[in-house]
């Protein structure tokens, strides 16, 4: 088994309840952990045998930048579901930070994890 991590993916999106949050995109920072079996990739050492993290990163960027949620929890859940669509993913964890969401704090984050049964 292997874990692929995508760290500190910075994307602007509409997130939040306040009127200014519904108009002005805000940055979110996404950290992702994807667990999968990479034995085929190790044995074949060929592009067709890998989980393409560049492709999933582009899909996440497109999805999040076009999303429009009130809750950070909902956005985190939807990104997790996007990852779990690929049957090769055995487990995924998503943490999304919303910088400057609270006074006197760097950020607020929500983390969700799902394991394939």
Q: What is the mean pLDDT of residues 104-115?
A: 95
- The confidence score (pLDDT) of residue 19 equals 92
Q: What number is the average pLDDT over the span 89-105? A: 94
CATH of the domain at 41: 3.30.1130.10
Closest to 82 measured CA to CA, from 58, 98, 99, 109:
58
The DSSP secondary structure of 25-52, one letter per residue, reads: -EEEEEEEEEEE--HHHHHH-SGGGS--
pLDDT of residue 82: 98
Q: What residue numbers bound the domain in which 62 lies?
A: 2-115
- Mean pLDDT, residues 89-101: 96
Least confident of 19-28, 38-47, 53-62, 74-83: 38-47
- pLDDT number for residue 1: 87
Could you give the CA distance from residue 32 to residue 113 in angstroms, rounded to a whole number?
10
pLDDT digits (tens, 9 = 90+) for 37-64: 887 777 766 666 678 899 999 999 999 9
pLDDT of residue 40: 74
Quote the pLDDT of residue 80: 98
pLDDT for residue 72 is more than 70: yes
Q: Report how many domains make up the chain.
A: 1
pTM of the entire predicted model: 0.91
With a CB cutoff of 8 Å and minimum separation 6, the contacts of 14 are 21, 22, 23, 25, 26, 67, 68, 69
């Amino acid at each position: 088994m292997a874990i692929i991590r995508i760290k500190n993916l910075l994307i602007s999106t509409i997130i939040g309840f306040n009127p200014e949050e519904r108009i002005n995109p805000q940055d979110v920072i996404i950290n992702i952990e994807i667990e999968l079996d990479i034995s085929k990739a190790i044995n074949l050492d060929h592009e067709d045998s890998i989980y393409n993290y560049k492709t999933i990163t582009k899909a996440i960027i497109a999805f999040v930048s076009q999303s429009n949620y009130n809750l950070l929890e909902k956005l985190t859940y939807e990104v997790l579901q996007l990852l779990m669509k690929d049957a090769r993913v055995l487990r995924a964890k998503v943490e999304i930070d919303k910088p400057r969401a609270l006074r006197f704090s760097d950020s607020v984050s929500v983390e969700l994890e799902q394991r394939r049964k």
